[in-house]
Structure 1
């Protein structure tokens, strides 16, 4: 059977991806952060959260050795982090400065990223250089997976196409409309068969058509490759957003907009379990390569950890639905001092001092008091200000302060904020909302920065903006003002 053993509640916005290494779990979110946990007890590592991205983080993946983690974002970068220290190793800026939706390491530690403008970039991680690029079409590339041999990769787009490429980014095969309305995720099975003349492996894909599909990918040494559809799995009633194989390729898991997680026999296409514990869309799922664990992430801002109990049978009762079980939750977040978390900019100096004490930074109380730091000044602090103007000499202490401030910024948006008050780009409450040509409202600074970086497509639809002129949304601004006053 499968049981829920832990629920992680550290992120402040939608969970977008989960990834395991042999010893760690990484999760990333629209709150701009990546969090790292030890899989022994799911305690968060001291250097977590990682806060180098300017916008929401769409995807994260470990290098084959587990020593590095890559994450990609709407900010058009793929950042590689050290899992020893949490430091940034390198930053890859996607060609064209388009938002990066997916990234994945190859078995030989090459790194590929796929972007909203339909381009792929293959990076040499060792030399930190761009090896080559390729373009599929104008649709966003939102799914990517390397085969276990590292010689081919699959991509999926919002147009619904599945494409197979070689390492030179030559297109080998295309399946048009593999998923009606768009592919959401794809994942190669870790196992393959090779008889010297032909290699065969399985590829799972899922999409907006509410289907999960298993394909047989055959590649001959003297020719291209062929995709054959083996199974179409319809165990979920709404778009399927994520899928993943176990390390032994025996099981396949998927997460859906219907809030469910399904576990299948990957060899026979038989539904084994339906897990119902998330309160909103399930956007991410992953199997541990070394432990019988599944991680699932959701728009309810939580990550659930499930254990596959010993003796689980791949021929179990079809469609068995597990009852709700109690979970070992991370304690609820401490209340922030002073006013509502949305009003940190209005904190008094006393509120800031209380916050320092609540975060274990009592040693800095006298320094902050001497410099009359209130809430508005707190969230504008930088490492340079801490060192040069406030004379905080300890590098470790400065880094800790900045991590806590970044956590504070991501916590400005609390549960219950109407979604229409949040800028789709920054995921923060808007101060100066404007309407763009796509009909959506954005924070003025965010959409103007988006347009100025030569992104002339809509952040929401990926379609070209007919004009770059924006119009103030005074009605929305007044509504946000009234809502803030009521908090």
Structure 2
């Protein structure tokens, strides 16, 4: 079971990345800042936000011990921050002064890799803060990178759609071309090595892209010193480009965020979809598991960061058993879907008294189940409750308990009612029904105001393909506008 426990709203623009250390959470944004929170109570640290970048911050990551935070930006630098003081420890200027899109530490923090929008790759010796090696993938932008668990190799992903494996001498070991049609958006190795049936060393790699797919690969180091990369699973749980993915600390679960505003959680070994979470209002651009607690952080273009708790008993193994042996519609969709905010308010209003009691138990509100049961509270009555009625009608005396109940009810109310709107009527940027649709140079239709704002702030790239727009000319899509009008008047 997954529940939303808090929402952080410190940023003034898109959240581009989230990262956990043992006791901290860092978030970075197009507003040029990095915010740092305690992962115990999610209070912002005294030295937060961190300011130093001249342009938007694309990515941030912690060193293994959590003492340092690295962040990279369009300003062509990767900055290293002390997590004791919030001070800048080093400024690493990217070769060629290209905007830096992504950065990642090796597992032992001896190395730091950064990738630029011109296809350049910089490998830094982190101990000395010096540039060790450089590489390049021509005619593309590097937007993803991750070290193998052994720290001796790393993967890069590009907007061209390929995944490339490198060693620490920047020797190019393997290329998986067209791994994702229209471009890779994120890639991450699972935290543990495996042993293949023939005794070779293997790594699991997750990647996602503009093709709306999340893929799991097996990377094998063959005895002949060759590299074999084999696709194990293709996951189709999201309906739009998948922008981010991350493994749990034990490698058993995988989370991803998408343009369709959803967060999906999978059992990683078999690629089984466990949860689909609906709480963000815009694209979900970032996700991360905590290494020390059952928590997931997700960041979005709605400027917020949501913190989700994986409740006790929701391990990948247990959920996989539920998936295989429970009745899928009755047990999995109706119970887990509601808990994961995947059902609409309309469906909540149809809950029976028994379903309300089950929801209370799932939310850890066993203390009020007797009061709800004696008052025959069903789904419709649940949505109409207030702090006053909880006190006067249900006789729940604890103010803290009443507040907790109301918070959970408000979360249910925030889930939108699905109204069957055709997807082609929704702007790919805002995911709202278009009023003035226009066709951009990439061939996609957008709400005029949304695409104009995108072009003015996003360096003239396509929101759908991430490739440069050949022109900023926008053509009115009158046919689509008329179709939307006809559909709206028929509702």
User: Following the alignment from structure 1 to structure 2, what is the Cα–Cα distance between the partners of residues 439 and 271?
Assistant: 32
Counterpart position of 1:9 = 9
Q: 1:22 maps to which residue?
A: 22
Distance 2:228 2:29 in 1: 35
CA distance in 2 between counterparts of 1:419 and 1:96 reads: 32
Q: Secondary structure at the match of 1:64?
A: coil
Shift in Å at residue 104 of structure 1?
0.3
Aligned to 1:202: 204
| Mapped partners of 1:288, 1:249: distance in 2 | 12
* Higher relative contact order structure (alpha carbons within 8 Å, sequence separation ≥ 6): 1
For 1:121 and 1:462, locate their aligned partners in 2 and report how far apart those are by CA, in whole Å: 23
Q: Distance in 1 between matches of 2:259 and 2:101?
A: 19
Secondary structure, counterpart of 1:321 in structure 2: helix
Counterpart residue number, 1:272:
274
Q: Can you list the C-alpha shifts for 1:347-406, whole angstroms capped at 9, x where unaligned?
A: xxxxxxxxxxxxxxxxxxxxxxxxxxxxxxxxxxxxxxxxxxxxxxxxxxxxxxxxxxxx
Match of 2:54 in 1: 54
Distance 2:311 2:93 in 1: 42
Deviation track 1:307-354 (CA, whole Å, cap 9, x = no partner) reads 00000123134665245394799xxxxxxxxxxxxxxxxxxxxxxxxx
Provide, for residues 257-279 of structure 1, a one-character-per-residue CA deviation record: whole Å limited to 9, x for no partner: 00000000001110000001111
Give secondary structure in 1 for the equivalent of 2:238. coil
| Alpha-carbon shift at residue 461 of structure 1 (Å) | 4.2
Relative to 1, partners in 2 of residues 1:165 and 1:41: Cα closer, same or farther, differing over 3 Å? same
Q: Aligned pair 1:218/2:220, yes or no?
A: yes
Q: TM-score, normalized by length of structure 2?
A: 0.68
**Which residue of 256, 259, 265 maps to 2:258?**
256
Unaligned runs of 5+ in 1: 330-417, 428-435, 441-459, 471-487
1:321 match: 337
Q: Distance in 2 between matches of 1:265 and 1:20?
A: 21
Q: C-alpha distance in 2, partners of 1:47/1:11?
A: 15
Whether the aligned pair in 1 keeps the contact of 2:159 and 2:467 (CA below 8 Å) is no
Please list every run of 5 or more consecutive structure 2 residues that lacks an aligned counterpart in the other structure. Answer: 324-331, 342-362, 364-406, 411-448, 473-491
More helix by share: 2
State the distance in 1 between where 2:231 and 2:165 align: 14
TM-aligned CA deviation for residue 425 of structure 1: 7.5
Structure 1 residues 225 and 8, CA, compared in 2 at 3 Å: closer, same or farther? same
Describe the SS at the equivalent of 1:86. coil
Matches within 5 A, 1:330-479: 461=467
Shift of residue 198, structure 1, vs aligned partner: 2.1
Contact between 1:55 and 1:425, CA under 8 Å: does it hold in 2? no
For the 8 Å contact 1:118–1:141, the answer to whether it is kept is yes
Deviation at 1:94, TM superposition (A): 0.4
Question: Which residue does the alignment assign to 2:244?
Answer: 242
Deviation string, structure 1 residues 227-277 (Cα, Å, up to 9, x no partner): 000000000000000000100011000000000000000011100000011
User: Could you tell me whether the CA contact under 8 Å between 2:455 and 2:461 is conserved in 1?
Assistant: no
Superposed displacement of residue 220, structure 1: 2.8
Structure 1 equivalent of residue 108 of structure 2: 108
* SS of residue paired to 2:50: coil
Kindly provide the CA deviation profile for residues 66-91 of structure 1, in whole angstroms up to 9, marking residues without a partner as x: 10000000000000000000000000
Residues 1:41 and 2:41 aligned together = yes
Structure 1: how far apart are the matches of 2:113 and 2:170?
10
Q: CA deviation at 1:178?
A: 0.4
Q: How many residues align?
A: 352
How many Å separate the matches in 2 of 1:311 and 1:185?
Answer: 29
Tell me what 1:303 maps to.
Answer: 305
Task: After superposition, give the CA deviation of every residue in 1:437-487 in whole Å (9 maximum; x if it has no partner).
Answer: x699xxxxxxxxxxxxxxxxxxx8458x99xxx9xxxxxxxxxxxxxxxxx
Structure 1 match to 2:133: 132
What SS is found at the alignment partner of 1:191? Answer: coil
Post-superposition Cα deviations, 1:103-146, rounded to whole Å, max 9, x if no partner, equal: 00012321100000011000111111100100122210000000
- Give the Cα–Cα distance (whole angstroms) in 1 for the partners of residues 126 and 408 of structure 2: 39
Query: 1:295–1:303: 8 Å Cα contact kept in structure 2?
Result: yes
Is this contact kept in 1: 2:461–2:467, CA < 8 A? no
CA RMSD of aligned residues (A): 2.7
The 3-state SS of whatever aligns with 1:107 is coil
SS at 1:190's partner residue? coil
SS of equivalent residue, structure 1 residue 148: coil
Q: Which residue of 2 aligns with 1:176?
A: 177
Q: Does 1:158 align with 2:174?
A: no
Question: 15-24 or 309-318, which moves further after superposition?
Answer: 309-318
Task: Name the SS for the 2:96 alignment partner.
Answer: helix
1:206-234 per-residue CA deviation (whole Å, 9 max, x = no partner) reads: 00000000000101354121100000000
3-state secondary structure, aligned to 1:314: helix
CA contact 2:22–2:291 (8 Å) conserved in 1:
yes
Alignment correspondent of 1:456: none
2:7/2:304 contact within 8 Å kept: yes
Query: Structure 1 residues 322, 91: closer, same or farther in 2, change over 3 A?
Result: farther
